[in-house]
Amino acid sequence: MFSMNNKISVRQLQILLIIDIFGTGVIILPRRAVEFAGQDGWIIVAILACLATGSAYLMSSVGRLFPSESFVRTASKLLSKPAGKALGLIFAAKLILNCALEIRMFGEIIRQTMLPNTPLAVVAGAAISISAYAASKGYEARARIAQIIFPIIFIPLIIVFILALRQIDMTNLLPVFVAKPADIFRGTLRMGSAFSCMELILIAHPFFANPEKARKGASSAILLVGALMLFITIITIAKFGPFDVSRQLWPVLEMMDMVEMPGSFIERQDALMLSFWILSNFAITNSCLFFSSILLKDVIEKGRHLPYICVSALITAAIALMITNAEQVYPIIDFLFLTLGLGFMVVLPILLLVVARIRKKGVIYEKQT
């Protein structure tokens, strides 16, 4: 059952964005950055952080046009009803596919690190079932849970990364600015998937208690996530060097496991990152199932969102189990980002804002006239 108001504050929005984005991507981010630009891989992450912040600003600006309307209704008002419904279906399909890819990676890492003899279907089924149950409780319930787990996970995590600064060699980042501009550009395009789930800003606007403050809040949250990703990428490369980072499957987990804690306060620091990643994965899966059900409900315009969650969950499970090799996930993620990801994060927001200005539609332009 939904909460009575089902609205979230700007602070809750920021926490949700940080948890949704700062998860799976950061575990492999240093390795992928090094593969494209060597020790200059951190430059790619810095560029991505700036571009992602600009994209968040654009998407939040679209939400300000019709603060109380859903994405499908906003697109229908600006483009046409058939176009709005078509975009809603495509958006829902993208979220379901994103969810399936996250679940497939989740299952692979869990099997490699914790449950090697557990079938993938069991791991994926448990993750999807729990996430679907959480999605059925509404957006505000998820925001309140995020507020509780955020300090529990982030405070120890930040302490470990700060302690890691004592054990790094900054000469591993030298020489700087040796990567070719073409490699930097290619890496920026291919690694943009690290900021997947940002496009949920387009759908979440009706759930904001203070929609007029959402643009600043979302942009600052994305900038903070980008800064954290940049920091982690730099210290990981400085810890191992670009060659070793490129050979490790999960370099961030390896680095955290090697950090020496004073007094042996924590036996395995990598468990902190893994626990955060597990919670983040559940948060991402929950978001994708919740918003895909909202989109499907708005497109079909019939019934409650709960049956659509069940449909999304079943499709997600089927796709996740169809991917037999986990290495297939990364090319699919890259392709999804370069097509639908950039489409919903950059192209569509610009199109909607231009159409709104030309047709003088939206709260801002209606007030002017």
Poorest-pLDDT segment among 102-116, 251-265, 323-337:
251-265
Backbone conformation region of residue 334, classed left if phi is above 0, alpha if psi is from -120 to 50, else beta: alpha
| Tokens at 192, concatenated | 């943009």
pLDDT mean over 164-176: 86
73 domain residue, yes or no: yes
Burial 198-220 (b: 16+ CB within 10 A, else e): bbbbbbbbbbbeebeebbebbbe
pLDDT mean over 181-207: 87
Closest CA to 104 of 328, 336, 335, 341: 328
pLDDT of 2 higher than 50: no
293 domain residue, yes or no: no
Poorest-pLDDT segment among 20-29, 183-192, 231-240, 321-330:
20-29
The CA-based angle 280-64-91, given to 5 degrees, is 50
| Tokens at 142, concatenated | 């998820």
- Rounded distance, CA 233 to CA 87, Å? 35
* Neighbouring C-beta atoms of residue 129, cutoff 10 Å: 12
How many separate domains does the chain show?
A: 1
Please tell me the pTM assigned to this model.
0.87
- Rounded distance, CA 283 to CA 145, Å? 10
Closest CA to 142 of 312, 274, 277, 7: 7
307-330: per-residue pLDDT in tens? 999 999 999 999 998 887 777 787
**pLDDT category, 56, cuts 50, 70, 90?**
very high
pLDDT mean over 350-367: 83
Provide the domain limits for residue 185: 10-98+137-265+328-368
Q: Say what the pLDDT of residue 328 is.
A: 78
299 domain residue, yes or no: no
pLDDT of 281 higher than 60: yes
**pLDDT category, 166, cuts 50, 70, 90?**
confident
- Rounded distance, CA 299 to CA 84, Å? 8
361 or 353, which is more confident? 353
pLDDT > 70 fraction of the chain, expressed in percent and rounded: 91
30 domain residue, yes or no: yes
Q: Say what the pLDDT of residue 1 is.
A: 37
Q: Say what the pLDDT of residue 161 is.
A: 79
313 domain residue, yes or no: no
**pLDDT category, 59, cuts 50, 70, 90?**
very high
29 domain residue, yes or no: yes
pLDDT of 4 higher than 50: no
pLDDT of 47 higher than 90: yes
**pLDDT category, 197, cuts 50, 70, 90?**
confident
286 or 267, which is more confident? 286
* SS3 state of residue 259: coil
**pLDDT category, 259, cuts 50, 70, 90?**
low
Q: Say what the pLDDT of residue 237 is.
A: 92
- Rounded distance, CA 161 to CA 164, Å? 5
pLDDT of 363 higher than 50: yes
DSSP line for 16-85: HHHHHHSSHHHHHHHHHHHHHHGGGHHHHHHHHHHHHHHHHHHHHHHHTTSTTS-HHHHHHHHT-HHHHH
218 domain residue, yes or no: yes
**pLDDT category, 283, cuts 50, 70, 90?**
confident
Q: What is the mean pLDDT of the chain?
A: 85
With the C-alpha atoms ordered 349, 352, 357, 361, is the resulting torsion angle positive or negative?
negative
CA distances from 306 to 93, 154, 313 (A): 17, 32, 11
Poorest-pLDDT segment among 152-156, 157-161, 258-262:
258-262
284 domain residue, yes or no: no
pLDDT mean over 260-284: 66
